[in-house]
Chains A and B, each alone.
Chain A
């Protein structure tokens, strides 16, 4: 983006309301915990809020926060800290408790993938993003995303006993 061509600063509140569910979902897939996902999302939005003058003018703040959450969710230390905090808390949020058990298993297998592959799967499927948009978010080439997708699907097929058929 040309630094002289700054987009108009949108409102953080609109950004938050528009993106929150998607970001919590992304964090849930990558962290495996509803409570932790909400906190990961909260932290990411807070980071955006504190730096909204800059983040809000980015060409795509949505890509920014997806990258933030995708990275933080697979961050070992951050996840461990969240686990520690949530161990003593009450039951998981209602929305995450209602996730189908088979799907929980599926997402668990996704988290067993290498981090980059898990991120690609989450962004491509949960957020229904095409490969080139996933590439922008993760800061890699579309070809790299394609490779990660293929490997991830192959691994998941093997582990879950599904047919292996390339997705788009």
Chain B
């Protein structure tokens, strides 16, 4: 049976099953009910005593749904067979917690088990009943397990964790802070009776935090939750081993899962600082430019259906950590426009396929209109608008990717001229990038792992494009059939660097002299669909993928994993000031809030 038929049949059966769903009355709005208004302070701490039995220890056939774990206020008691007792860090200061965990060598606690079904392990002792936890203290720790190598496949994985997937172990360890509801994870576990369990990972518990006279008191609200047990070895003949990410503390605001993490090994603070997001309403498709003093955010759209476009803007001054609204623009509300800083003004052109433009002077807080562009910019279907324009050498280049239409607006004469873009239409998506003297158009021709196709033009002469060699991958053996290479490129330290978020371990750079590609060192950054492209910061390159952040340093020619907490940095909505990276706005094209984008977030990243 074809997969198409299976999906259709299953859909039909599900629709039939749904006829059993009673059509209930129109739902009452809990936000308007007294109960909904009550302050409910509920947090759940996944309390996992990581107890790795390795391959030798087996856990009995206890029923995780009925077993109850007692709490005595002290450190968690490891079940028989455990190698590691997890220290009680709850309520301790960060320094104390780090010391205890270091002494406990918690890395050993999670070294070997079958991780195809687990991404993260949360390590913490249970807070005792009635334990007072000072506000802001550590309540959890986690480490992240990488995905298994692509070569490892369980032929018929039997996942005893039910429908919990890799995301089922989220960031945990909220600041014990009362007054806010914390969404917390749980893990429904169904251990097949025939399972030969080998690894006992943890005990989960739920806790409520209540504020009492300035302190936060933990109270268990439920008993034993689940045991995570890997499937039998027979289900997955090959048990790979992995390098674990450093154990990290997690603390922060449980209401929005923001917060910083501290690298246990490095012992440094996260370089990511969440800042005031300012007065603008939530939006996407906006522009950000850096003036040298301020970050200016302008335009965008406020809901997923495109019904509310924005024509307002605001400026953030990192020196004073303050925002100001900027003067109303003569341009109509729009998204996906081209915006750039000329050195004196912010120029804005197009958006939603429009051609008109205007310039904003932050000194006088005034706008003025500019000459129309020769073609529409930022039409809805041209999604890569942020990639398709840049200001370089005194002009704003705009490429209407994926066509061959290119134009340049000269900041001195304030006029447009067309640029020959012959050959560029073959790129299915595109990005303009510039080094000191050359302009590059970067893109791919297909989704099938075809290497990068690139062209360049002399930046000043603009005498046409020269096709460069395709980006070749010495790591081509890693190319996954059917993988979408999703190339993106940036200029770091004067070199064009191309990065694929669809292919594992793929990053190449173009030598500016020979214009030949070479591999960057292996980075072990996992590839994730939808991961943002790299962000250049002088000699460093920030890459985010699968929730992790990695920085390539061209000076040392090495990669280093860093912890940026929940900051998701999108190249199109971030600026490099020369000393710090400032990011503003939702990074995704749609928000979980349904019709509206998520509330704005803003970050400053200061790398050491």
Contacts and interface: CB of A to CB of B under 8 A. Distances in A.
A71 B592 contact: yes
Contacts of B20: 94-95, 98
Interface in B194-253: 206, 222, 225-226
A126 B15 contact: yes
A138 B553 CA distance: 38
Given A80-B183, A112-B165, A125 B594 contact: no
A100 B183 contact: no
A60 B164 CA distance: 34
A116 B529 contact: yes
A165 B188 contact: no
The DSSP consensus for interface residues of chain B is loop
Given A77-B183, A99-B14, A160-B6, A32 B595 contact: no
A87 B530 contact: no
B183 A99 contact: no
A20 B23 contact: yes
Contacts of B589: 139
Interface string A45-57: 1110111000100
Contact of A25 (B14, B23, B183): B14
Interface string B34-64: 0000000000100000000000000000000
Nearest to A24: B21
Contact of B29 (A44, A46, A151, A156): A46
B287 to A, nearest CB: 19
Interface in A122-157: 125-126, 128, 138-139, 141, 147, 151, 153-157
Contacts of B267: none
Given A78-B592, A106-B10, A114-B530, A13 B170 contact: no
Given A21-B23, A154-B482, A162-B2, A107 B257 contact: no
Interface in A57-104: 58, 63-65, 67-68, 71-72, 75-81, 83-84, 87-88, 93-96, 98-100, 102-103
A154 B2 CA distance: 11
B147 to A, nearest CB: 12
A89 B370 CA distance: 62
Given A55-B595, A95-B21, A71 B3 contact: no
Interface in B528-551: 529-530
A64 B44 contact: no
A95 B186 contact: no
Contacts of B10: 100, 102-103, 106-107, 125
A72 B591 CA distance: 8
Contacts of B266: none
Interface string B556-598: 0000000000000000000000000000000001111011000
* B21, B24, B222, B529 — most chain A CB neighbours (10 Å): B21
B589 to A, nearest CB: 7
A124 to B, nearest CB: 8
B27 A49 contact: yes
Contact of B17 (A45, A65, A98, A153): A98
Given A80-B184, A87-B188, A116 B7 contact: no
Interface residues of B, number: 58
* B4, B27, B447 — most chain A CB neighbours (10 Å): B4
A3 to B, nearest CB: 8
A17 B24 CA distance: 8
A165 B18 contact: no
A154 B590 CA distance: 26
A20 B1 contact: no
Given A88-B222, A139-B589, A164-B3, A151 B482 contact: yes
B19 A21 contact: yes
B105 interface: no
B388 to A, nearest CB: 16
Nearest to A25: B18
B14 A153 contact: no
A21 B21 contact: yes
B530 A116 contact: yes
A44 B20 CA distance: 21
Interface string B518-534: 00000000000110000
A1 interface: yes
B150 interface: no
Interface of B: 1-4, 6-8, 10-11, 13-15, 17-21, 23-24, 26-27, 29-31, 44, 163-165, 167-168, 170, 183-188, 206, 222, 225-226, 257, 304-307, 381, 447, 482, 484, 529-530, 589-592, 594-595
Given A16-B27, A42-B27, 15 more contacts: A24-B18, A77-B183, A77-B257, A80-B184, A80-B185, A83-B186, A84-B206, A88-B222, A103-B14, A115-B530, A138-B590, A151-B484, A157-B3, A162-B3, A167-B2
17 contacts: A3-B307, A12-B26, A16-B26, A49-B26, A64-B594, A67-B595, A77-B592, A80-B168, A83-B185, A84-B206, A99-B14, A99-B17, A106-B7, A112-B165, A125-B7, A156-B7, A167-B8
